């Protein structure tokens, strides 16, 4: 594992070798936390995946370091509007169509798929697709969290070109794209999503044993499961989750203000949290655009993208998405360091505070508490 | 002209008690009673109605309406009792094939309910484009394959709340095929977008049609036995009423009516249009919010009998504090255990040995007339005293959570354990303990309006037209549910923006409600 710039390493979690139906609740709870407020609702996805793994058996996980010359990997995700996703659900044919088309375009067999993002429903669904397809899952993802745009993905940071992308809709239409870069892919893919009724399933970024190392965020499925297990089994879930993540609790308190609006297909706004207990008297603000982007207190940035900020239910430890935040909720705000890849110049250019329109310098978040 | 005022009877059939009240036209409570609920339902209703009619004696002929609120449907699901066998049809394949109907139902419940299911071509995309042509032949083949093995059909089409025609066409095809008396339930009539939850609710609704028939006929039987010339209504989840034949078709809409009636009744008895209501029972305290006289609805999916549904339910916060909550003297812990209905044997106040919150309340003044706390040791006394402070804290936190930080709302206290609520809470302007608080549920049923809800999706430029279309549909549903066409109005408009469409789109959801129409009279009687 790559050490952090400050020399520390995130808590090592055991690498899983497979994911079975009994792991899905933990994976879903963990993926919701990595969603940092966005990433879509994990509830439907986890119900479907749990059932699929029960019907088709557990999915084999392989680490990036275990990839051989014979392996070819592709990222898979759902793309589109969550409002549509709860009504026009996926078909069993979509993952099969994608895999077949991707293999044809690549000219070789695809042996594993991986989530494009571990945050939210897209961190959970690929396990079900893999079970159905009979392929392995790479224990890694393309974000280490959830981000709203196609450009904000790790191989793009690492300078690996996206050779092609395949999109399949629920009716059976398939589109193959060979974009010159991710900005163009975003533009064309969006047009395709609209034509397909608001939601599609996509496969992109074919990777190999040569290109994957350093271009993906490693071991994130195992990590999400560990975080979820801590949440579901510990007697004080918030501190257990923080320990597994290497996170600090920024504030414990209650939501006293929610300002949200929808703009260009994104939810933008801010939340204010008033401290309770030993945090009484403190006020913290979270800026958001689908995901939680910046945590501020007394004009000072405590944490910002690409580092991760998640709002948890103070009692249960479950992540609360930006849509579900309500006045009066008792919450704990936690923050932790992103993968070092995001802290490179290219990473910050694509997903630092300025990429989201904040005129703020990026200050790397470091864990202060030691346990 | 007699100038006799019209009277209403409200009945609430709970798991334990059946409450009944008589209200006059001003809403004054003229009579109230609590009777044990009977296994056949009708016995409890009969006893309750007979008792309040006795109390008003010579004015029984003035009873013009009988309103029933009940958890009977909920209990039938929980007990897997009297459920019909349902053929489940979903239109929209290949969409949703990843998730066949009833996939997440508890096995024993789906075993009771499911006669067979089919995922057929059909359904619509967000913009109205058909996903696939309707598979008429597949539909007929499916019905033939399960011939004679189902009592009802539940039909759910993708985006049918916005594009209802196809479900209606399927309804016609089925009637044509198996006869005009077929029991067919369409998802567009049951719930908003969210396919799995709407389908689940539609199937539950179909499964409950006999239960609904039984309870509506129980009410009619009692009304007839008593010789009342009254119109009958059912209370539904959102605090509005529906006519009896509507209730018979939509029993699933009664499932959340208990808390809704309690909240509406409490608000009404206290005169508060905006308030927090706490119903303190033996095991839990259930808190809700009244906004403009209606219960605030939950935004989260609700589970019933292990099944996820998305029909609108009151936003209820349950806290593990009730009159029977056990105070553990050794650890100082309060709850979550409760002696429940055994409090009249096990509580200290009743000669038992288990300290409860009722005993804690008795430190100040006895909440139970004629009973006083026996001598207890110092540790027990300290633990009981500390538990009262804990209760005040928990209730205050719960009120704060529900009130969204607003400090200007009163707190209305109902239920048998109401004495646990302190007279002063820093988060509420005042604590109100209305008269007849024990039968707030039945009062809530008696004062409800008739209502309806409808949804429409449109481009954002057409949002006003969409609101108008949804309003018309909601008003039509409210009238169908019994509202006075001259007085029904739109009471709520919810807009949800939708991304990834050609033009920015919006989903509008409109609720309409109005006072019940006065059948057989053209003018309200003057005092």
* Across B388-397, average pLDDT: 90
Domain residue ranges of chain A, discontinuous segments joined by +: 18-221, 235-356
What count of CB pairs under 8 Å joins A to B? 118
Q: How many helices (H) and strands (E) does chain A have?
A: 10, 17
| C-alpha A313: how far from chain center | 19
State whether residue A15 sits within 8 Å of chain B by CB: no
C-alpha dist (Å) from residue B406 to B15, B264, B274, B409? 34, 20, 11, 7
d(C-alpha B187, C-alpha B212), whole Å? 18
Residue A124 has pLDDT above 70, yes or no: yes
CB of B188 within 8 Å of any CB in chain A? no
- Name the band, by pLDDT with cuts 50, 70 and 90, for residue B515: confident
d(CA A354, CA B515): 55
Quote the minimal CA–CA distance from B444 to chain A in Å.
Answer: 27
| pLDDT tens digits, B41-63 | 899 999 999 999 999 988 898 99
Say what the pLDDT of residue A7 is.
41
B97 to chain A, any CB pair closer than 8 A? The answer is yes
Residue B382 dihedral angles phi and psi, to the nearest 5°: -65, -45
Return the closest-CA partner of residue B478 out of B518, B450, B449, B447: B450
Q: Which residues of B475-514 are buried (b: 16+ CB within 10 A; e: fewer)?
A: bbbbbebbbbeeebebbbeeebbbbbbeebbbbbbbbbbb
Q: Where are the domains of chain B?
A: 1-80+211-255, 84-207, 318-439, 449-514
Distance CA B198, CA A61 (A): 35
pLDDT in tens, A102-116: 999 999 999 999 999
pLDDT surpasses 80 at B417: yes
Lookup: tokens for B526: 């003057």
Given the cut 0.85, state whether the ipTM is greater than it.
yes
Tell me which chain B residues have a C-beta less than 8 angstroms from the C-beta of A91.
93-98
Preferred mutation among B91, B92, B95 to probe A, highest tally of A CBs within 10 A: B95
Q: What is the assigned CATH class of domain B1-80+211-255?
A: alpha beta
Question: Which of B103, B195, B500 comes nearest A87 by C-beta?
Answer: B195
Contacts 24+ apart (CB under 8 A), A91-95: A91/A170, A91/B93, A91/B94, A91/B95, A91/B96, A91/B97, A91/B98, A92/A132, A92/B94, A92/B97, A92/B98, A93/A168, A93/A172, A93/B94, A93/B97, A94/A168, A94/A169, A94/A170, A94/A201, A95/A129, A95/A132, A95/A133, A95/A201
A184 against B291, higher pLDDT: A184
What chain B residue is nearest to A47 in terms of C-alpha separation?
B104
Instruction: For residue B161, give how far its alpha carbon lies from the nearest alpha carbon of chain A (Å).
Output: 10
Contact B131 A256 (CB under 8 A): no
Rounded CA-CA distance A19/A57 in Å is 9
Mean pLDDT of B234-255: 82
**Nearest-5° angle of CA A224, CA A155, CA A40?**
45
pTM score, whole prediction:
0.81
Q: Find chain A residues with C-beta within 8 A of B402's C-beta.
A: 328
Rounded distance between C-alpha atoms, residue A230 and residue A218, angstroms? 20
Angle value at C-alpha B452, between B448 and B458, nearest 5 degrees: 150
Alpha carbon distance B454, B177 (integer Å): 29
pLDDT at B311: 66
At residue B341, the pLDDT reads: 66
Query: Are B96 and A88 in contact (CB < 8 Å)?
Result: yes
d(C-alpha A362, C-alpha A302), whole Å: 10
Superfamily of domain A235-356: CV3147-like (2.40.390.10)
Give the chain B residue whose CA is nearest to the CA of A193.
B500
**Helix, strand, coil content of chain B in percent (nearest 5):** 35, 25, 35
CA nearest neighbour of A328 among A320, A338, A317: A320
Encode pLDDT of A25-65 as tens digits: 999 999 999 999 987 778 889 999 999 999 999 999 999 99
Q: How far apart are CA B233 and CA B244, in angstroms?
A: 5
Q: Using DSSP, state whether B511 is helix, strand or coil.
A: strand
Which DSSP string do the residues of A27-66 spell out, in sequence order? HHHHHHHHTTT-S--HHHHHHHHHHHHHHH--EEEE-GGG
**Within an 8 Å CB–CB cutoff, is residue A173 touching chain B?**
no
Task: Kindly identify which residue of chain B lies nearest to residue A80, measuring between CA atoms.
Answer: B500
What pLDDT does B249 receive? 87
A318 is written with which tokens? 């479950």
Exposure string of B442-457, with b = 16+ CB inside 10 Å and e = fewer, is bbbbbbbbbbbbbbbb
Of B397, B402, B500, the CB nearest to A84: B500
Lowest mean pLDDT among A23-27, B59-63, B273-277, B293-297: B293-297
Strands of B275-379, DSSP E: 275-280, 285-291, 294-295, 302-304, 307-309, 317-319, 325-327, 334-338
- Using a CB–CB cutoff of 8 Å, tell me whether A261 touches chain B: no
Q: Which fold has domain A18-221?
A: CV3147-like fold (3.40.1610)
pLDDT band at B256 (very low <50, low <70, confident <90, very high): confident
Q: Structure tokens of A337?
A: 């360091």
- CA dist B492 and A370 (Å) reads 51
Cis bond upstream, residue B176 (ω within 30)? no
In chain A, whose CA is at the least distance from the CA of B100?
A48
Residue B481 has pLDDT above 80, yes or no: no
Nearest to A170 among B99, B104, B131 (CB): B131
Contact across the interface for A329 and B401, Cβ inside 8 Å: yes
Q: Does A83 touch chain B (CB under 8 A)?
A: yes
Take residue B122 and report the two structure tokens written for it.
């059909």
Kindly determine whether residue A81 and residue B125, on different chains, have CB atoms separated by under 8 Å: no
Nearest to A170 among B94, B404, B497 (CB): B94
Q: Which residue out of A40, A47, A83, A187 would a mutagenesis test of the B interface target, given it has the greatest number of B Cβ atoms within 10 Å?
A: A83
A265-273 own/partner pairs: CB under 8 Å, 24+ apart: A265/A81, A265/B499, A265/B500, A265/B504, A266/A148, A266/A290, A266/B499, A267/A322, A267/A323, A269/A322, A271/A311, A271/A325, A273/A331, A273/A333
d(CA B499, CA B235): 36
A263 CB-near residues (< 8 Å, 6+ apart): none
Mean pLDDT of chain A: 91
């Amino acid at each position: 594992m790559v050490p952090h710039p400050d020399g520390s390493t995130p808590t090592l979690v055991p690498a899983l070798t497979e994911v079975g139906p009994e792991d899905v609740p933990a994976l879903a709870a963990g993926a919701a936390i990595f969603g940092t407020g966005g990433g879509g609702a994990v509830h439907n996805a986890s119900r479907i995946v749990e059932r699929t793994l029960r019907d088709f058996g557990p999915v084999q996980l392989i680490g990036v370091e275990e990839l051989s010359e014979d392996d070819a990997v592709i990222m898979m995700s759902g793309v589109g509007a969550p409002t549509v996703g709860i009504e026009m659900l996926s078909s069993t044919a979509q993952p099969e169509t994608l895999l077949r088309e991707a293999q044809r375009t690549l000219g070789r067999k695809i042996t594993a798929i991986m989530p494009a993002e571990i945050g939210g429903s897209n961190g959970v669904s690929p396990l079900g697709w893999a079970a159905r397809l009979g392929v392995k899952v790479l224990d890694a993802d393309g974000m280490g969290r959830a981000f709203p745009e196609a450009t904000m993905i790790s191989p793009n940071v690492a300078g690996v070109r996206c050779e092609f992308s395949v999109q399949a809709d629920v009716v059976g239409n398939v589109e193959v794209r060979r974009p010159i870069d991710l900005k163009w892919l975003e533009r064309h893919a969006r047009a395709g999503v609209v034509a397909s009724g608001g939601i599609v399933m996509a496969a992109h970024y074919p990777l190999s044993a040569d290109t994957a190392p350093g271009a993906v965020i490693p071991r994130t499925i195992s990590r999400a499961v560990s975080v979820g297990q801590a949440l579901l089994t510990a007697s004080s879930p918030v501190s257990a989750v923080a320990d597994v993540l290497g996170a600090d609790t920024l504030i414990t308190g209650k939501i006293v203000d929610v300002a949200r609006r929808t703009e260009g297909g994104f939810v933008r706004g801010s939340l204010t949290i008033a401290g309770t207990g030993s945090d009484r008297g403190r006020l913290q603000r979270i800026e958001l655009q689908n995901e939680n982007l910046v945590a501020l207190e007394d004009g000072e940035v405590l944490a910002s993208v690409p580092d991760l900020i998640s709002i948890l239910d103070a009692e249960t430890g479950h992540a609360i998405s930006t849509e579900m935040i309500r006045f009066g909720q008792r919450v704990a705000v936690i923050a932790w360091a992103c993968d070092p890849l995001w802290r490179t110049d290219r990473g910050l250019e694509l997903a630092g505070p300025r990429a989201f329109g904040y005129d703020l310098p990026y200050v790397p978040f470091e864990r202060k508490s030691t346990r | 002209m007699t100038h006799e005022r019209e009277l209403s009877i409200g009945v609430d059939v709970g798991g334990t008690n059946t409450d009944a009240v008589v209200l006059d036209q001003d809403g004054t409570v003229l009579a109230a009673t609590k009777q044990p609920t009977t296994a056949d339902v009708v016995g409890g209703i009969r006893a309750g109605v007979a008792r309040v009619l006795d109390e008003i004696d010579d004015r029984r002929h003035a009873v013009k309406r009988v309103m029933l609120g009940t958890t009977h449907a909920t209990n039938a699901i929980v007990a897997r009792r009297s459920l019909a066998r349902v053929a489940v049809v979903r239109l929209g394949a290949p969409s949703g094939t990843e998730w066949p109907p009833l996939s997440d139902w508890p096995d024993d419940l789906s075993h009771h309910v499911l006669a067979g299911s089919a995922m057929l071509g059909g359904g619509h995309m967000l913009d109205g484009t058909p996903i696939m042509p309707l598979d008429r032949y597949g539909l007929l083949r499916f019905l033939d394959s399960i011939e004679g093995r189902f009592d009802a059909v539940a039909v759910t089409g993708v985006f049918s709340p916005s594009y209802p025609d196809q479900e209606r066409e399927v309804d016609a095809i089925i009637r044509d095929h198996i006869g005009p008396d077929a029991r067919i339930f369409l998802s567009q009539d049951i719930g908003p977008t969210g396919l799995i939850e709407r389908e689940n609710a539609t199937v539950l609704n179909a499964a409950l049609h006999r239960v609904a028939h039984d309870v509506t006929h129980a009410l009619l039987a009692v009304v007839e036995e008593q010789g009342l010339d009254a119109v009958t209504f059912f209370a539904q989840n959102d605090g509005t009423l529906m006519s009896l034949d509507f209730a018979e078709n939509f029993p699933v809409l009664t499932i959340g009516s208990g808390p809704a009636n309690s909240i509406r009744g409490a608000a009404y008895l206290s005169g508060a249009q905006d308030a927090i209501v706490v119903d303190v029972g033996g095991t839990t305290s259930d808190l809700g919010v009244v906004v403009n006289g209606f219960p605030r609805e939950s935004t989260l999916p609700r589970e019933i009998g292990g099944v996820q549904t998305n029909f609108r339910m009151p936003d209820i916060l349950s806290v593990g504090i009730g009159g029977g909550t056990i105070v553990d003297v050794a650890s100082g812990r309060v709850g979550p255990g409760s002696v429940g209905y055994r409090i009249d044997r096990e509580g200290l106040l009743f000669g038992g040995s288990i300290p409860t919150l009722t005993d804690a309340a008795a430190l100040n003044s006895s909440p139970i007339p004629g009973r006083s706390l026996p001598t207890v040791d110092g540790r027990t006394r300290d633990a009981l005293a500390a538990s009262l402070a804990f209760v005040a804290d928990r209730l205050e936190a719960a009120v704060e959570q529900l009130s969204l930080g607003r400090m200007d709302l009163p707190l209305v206290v109902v239920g048998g354990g109401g004495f646990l609520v302190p007279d002063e809470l820093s988060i509420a302007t005042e604590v109100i303990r209305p008269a007849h608080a024990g039968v707030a549920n039945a009062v809530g049923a008696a004062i409800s309006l008739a209502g309806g809800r409808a949804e429409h999706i449109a481009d954002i430029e057409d949002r006003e037209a969409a609101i108008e279309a949804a309003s018309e549909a909601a008003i039509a549903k409210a009238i169908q549910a019994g509202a006075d066409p001259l007085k029904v109005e739109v009471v709520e408009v919810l807009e949800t923006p939708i991304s990834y469409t050609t033009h920015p789109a919006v989903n509008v959801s409109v609720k309409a409600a109005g006072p019940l129409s006065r059948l057989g009279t053209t003018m309200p009687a003057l005092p």
